[in-house]
Chain A
Amino acid sequence: MSEAQEIKQAHAMRSSWHAVAWLGWALAAAMSVQLAPSPVYIAIIVSICALAVETHAVDGPFKRAFPALLALGVIFSLIRVVLAALTTHTGERILFSIPEATLPQLLGGFTLGGTIETGVILDALVAGFTIIGVMAVFGALNAVISHYELVQSAPRAFHEAGIAITVALAFVPSTIESVHAVREADRARTGGRVVRRARSLRLVVPVLERGLERAVSLAESMDSRGFSHGEPARGERIAGWLGLAGLLALAASFVALIGRSTNSAAVFSLCGGALIIAAVAVASRSTARARYRRRRITKADALMVALAWIAPAALGVLTIYGNDTLTWSASPLAWPQVGLLPVIALIPLLAPMVRRPWESVIDSHSNELVTP
């Protein structure tokens, strides 16, 4: 094995960009999906996401989850198409008719079935591409970031909750592994034959119990290492009350919204938001907890995000100037058009790919060594 390969292997865990930078990139990509929902542009964005996963993914279960999330996006859009076809009726371009049934008022009172129309199906398909695009961006983000890095960058008040979330995420792959092992053990018991009767019980009980055992020993390990050690500080208690008040105010605004009193809803939601921000600020200030080698956001990270945001900005400008290839409508039906300008506008989304996944690891190390 060459030295370069060794370095790559040893540092395989580090993404070349800071998790927050990836988050910025993902927001830019998601924004671009919204601004350019024509299937051609969505396909370009999905390819960029796939490229990001291929080159920058942190090895692990979330890398494997990318195709699954993409498939989920396709399934969601297809379900949407079916539901729209069954429930939306304009009376134009009828493809065929099926028997219809009107639901009772209690369940919404709309009509299921009846005329199935080409226009409706195509419109739903067009909207479906947006779902696929957003799922691709979400899947790529999960595959390329270290979730713990994100926790470390979150305000201090969220530290312990964030740890709990990363621990919970870590249970996903181990549970999948358990399921495989238990299925195989079940087959092994009968000499390779699969007995279907009461199989789910035989599979579920061992998986759950293994998970529980793991959780107990993890809890012991965290407890022995001083997790949530010490009394909550005064600031943390104040923050707790502020947060509670904020949530109550938001709930009140929701109630007001249902009661159609828009003004009081606005006041309540403003108060609620302010209280929650105050809670986070107070809690972060009072927790004197330092963090070990928190990865800093470098200039390069900021530059990458800025570059990526050129894409939605440019698309926004094109929208204002009325570039009609950005969206694709099913009526009148025509092939989606491709414009040169929008394609150029999407290029900045490739910004993270200018770095090889592991090169930066070495220089981020040296960076951290010189920063106090």
Chain B
Amino acid sequence: MSTVEFRSVTFSYPGAAAGSPSALSGVDLNVAEGEVLLVVGDSGSGKSSLLRCVNGLAPHSTGGTFGGEVIVGGRSTRDHLPRDLADIVGFVHQDPEAQFVVDRVEHDVAFALENLGLDEASMRRRVEEVLDALGIAHLRDRSPATLSGGERQRCAIAGALALAPSVLVLDEPTSQLDPQGADDVLAALSRLNADLGTTVLLAEHRLERAAPIADRAIVMSRGEITDGPDATAAVIGRYPGAPSVTRLGRALGWSELPLTVRDARATATRLGVDLKAPADHRPARGETLRSAKDLRVDISRRRVLHGVSMEIAAGDVIALLGRNGSGKTTLLRALSNLISPTSGEIVGNSSIAYVPQDPGTLLFAPTVRDELAETLRLLGKPRDEGAIDCWLESLGLREVEHRHPRGLSGGERQRVAIAAVAIGGAEVLLLDEPTRGMDAASRAALELCVRSHAERGGAVVLATHDVELAARCATRVTVLGDGEIVAEGDARHVLSGSLFAPQVLRVLPPFLTVEEVEMVIAE
């Protein structure tokens, strides 16, 4: 029996230009009771629109034209508003900050219950149960503002679950979280599904973690379901943006494609993989562009960096790894002179530019093209259309150059921010968490741009949680822990044997990436 049913659903946002593809066109989908359905696809493929149709946010809250019908638990979203479906569908957003109504976790969870007018005794019981189901009972008296991203997102899920909906819809719930937080959230989801039988519809970019918990998956592109619904392993096996282990299986020609490192290891042992070691070519480091010596930084009387020294040389792509709060962002800000260190010094007069974590803080021009031109104007340089074209090209932004930067997807926005900063001509680029919320296509464009900037004699420092990104494009890796450097050196050397190891390295050491494996096979 299906709880959610899409019958040839067509939807387009208000103000969409005539002739442009609609957000959803002719979608037919049945979601069975108690299953976990994974929705994958690049940004702008219609994932969010599909999920917003489930509880009627599209079209009731977004506006726009809607055709076909969505039936949830026997009710049609045509004549039920989102608030009238609150007892069947829970909805969770990607931004964990913007979902709290009350500044205390426990009362925020009870918000939906109060709205639907439950009596006090049942409210009390529901809240206790939901707090336990998500393992957040110890956070009940806290303010969401004081929680970490993962904790916050679990509290938001609790708020959506309070009314015991049979369907839970989550739109990229982990895209703004660090790996630890993402793991916690997905583990909680899979437990909910197993224990309570909640049907889960989940859109995600980070398939490494999400794919193993899903029963079935669909791939969306340009508003249509292009693959599935089918078993997750089959769909993800065919999907270009699959996790590294799956692509590794594909490269090695395995018939059964793995979704997890564990499966891949088992298959590798069973079938035996015999490949010669990859060529270990280390690009020569050029002259030092900027270096930090014994840097100490205090922020509001708390020491954040304890004597960090590092060297950035021409041709370097340095990945800065470390958990949240280990001082990555502070180090970048100190390197770019946004904060002054308490002691220690920064040497080198090469030009430097920093792209902050949230691209939304930067963008204000009416079009992507103007956004790039604006930086040149601020630096007192003439508007150079050639340079603008070149940067738009290298970050794959040609298609959207006349769009409003704010209207783009998260990954596209991040790339616009990078282009807008990089066009200033800085030799050293500092990127803070650049792949947050990025789809596979954006990530590929970013990696290419980073590598070519380094090859031209520049240097890039990436503060990131994304080890796969580090494995694919970093020449050096620095690991920060509690404000100190705990490991530093050549990328392969630091990544191998650490808990931070990328998926391929864990299955087939000493290979770091699928590309390396493919190269050796091709030889």
Contact = CB atoms under 8 A, between A and B. Distances in A.
Interface of A: 10-14, 59-60, 146-148, 163, 166-167, 170, 173-174, 178, 181-182, 184-192, 195, 201-202, 205-206, 209-210, 213-214, 217-230, 288-293, 361
Interface stretch (B38-46, B96-104, B456-464): B96-104
Contacts of B499: none
Given A11-B141, A220-B91, A293-B110, A188 B338 contact: yes
A221 B101 CA distance: 9
A205 B421 CA distance: 18
Given A229-B115, A289-B114, A292-B113, A213 B360 contact: yes
A223 B83 contact: yes
Given A189-B424, A191-B336, A214-B97, A292 B120 contact: yes
8 closest A-B pairs by CB: A226-B86, A292-B110, A205-B364, A185-B361, A224-B91, A225-B112, A226-B115, A188-B354
5 contacts: A148-B103, A178-B361, A181-B361, A224-B90, A293-B110
B81 to A, nearest CB: 8
- Classify the secondary structure of B's interface with A: mixed
Contacts of B102: 148, 166
A226 B364 contact: no
A227 B115 contact: yes
B18 interface: no
B330 interface: no
Contact of B362 (A11, A189, A214): A189
Contacts of B306: none
A206 B362 contact: yes
Contacts of A189: 353, 362, 375, 378, 420-421, 424
Contacts of A202: 364
Given A189-B353, A221-B99, A292-B113, A206 B57 contact: no
Interface of B: 55, 57, 61, 81-84, 86-87, 89-91, 93, 95, 97-104, 106-107, 110-120, 123-124, 127, 138, 141-143, 145-146, 156, 159-160, 162-163, 333, 336-338, 351-356, 358, 360-364, 375, 378-379, 406, 420-421, 424, 426
Contact of B101 (A10, A167, A185): A167
Given A188-B353, A290-B118, A60 B145 contact: yes
A290 B119 contact: yes
A149 to B, nearest CB: 9
A294 to B, nearest CB: 9
Nearest to B140: A10
Contacts of A206: 360-364
A317 B82 CA distance: 59
Contacts of B123: 290, 292-293
A10 B86 contact: no
Contacts of A186: 362
Contacts of A185: 356, 361-362
Contacts of B127: 292
A143 to B, nearest CB: 14
B166 to A, nearest CB: 14
Contacts of B142: 10, 12-13
Contacts of B352: 191-192
Contacts of B379: 190
Nearest to B361: A185
Contact of A181 (B95, B138, B358): B358
Contacts of A222: 101
Nearest to B126: A292
B338 A187 contact: yes
Contact of B103 (A170, A188, A190, A291): A170
A184 B356 contact: yes
A73 B126 CA distance: 46
A14 to B, nearest CB: 6
B353 A292 contact: no
A191 B426 contact: yes
Contacts of A60: 103, 143, 145
Contacts of B351: 191
Contacts of A229: 83-84, 86, 115-116
Contacts of A13: 103-104, 141-143
Contact of B353 (A147, A167, A191, A201): A191
Q: Output the residue of A14, A178, A182, A225 with the most chain B CB within 10 A.
A: A225
Given A13-B103, A226-B163, A192 B116 contact: no
A181 B99 CA distance: 21
Contacts of B160: 224-225
Nearest to B432: A188
Contacts of B111: 225, 227
Contacts of A192: 336-338, 352
A292 B86 CA distance: 18
A222 B159 CA distance: 10
Given A11-B141, A225-B160, A292-B113, 4 more contacts: A146-B104, A148-B103, A210-B360, A224-B82
Nearest to B374: A202
Nearest to B355: A188
A305 B8 CA distance: 64
A135 B289 CA distance: 53
Nearest to A10: B141
B146 to A, nearest CB: 8
Given A221-B101, A223-B57, A229-B84, A293 B362 contact: no
A228 B115 contact: yes
Nearest to B85: A224
A190 B420 CA distance: 10
Contacts of A10: 138, 141-142
A182 B361 contact: yes
A12 to B, nearest CB: 8
A12 B90 CA distance: 29
Contact of B83 (A12, A218, A226, A292): A226
Nearest to A152: B107
Contacts of A59: 143, 146
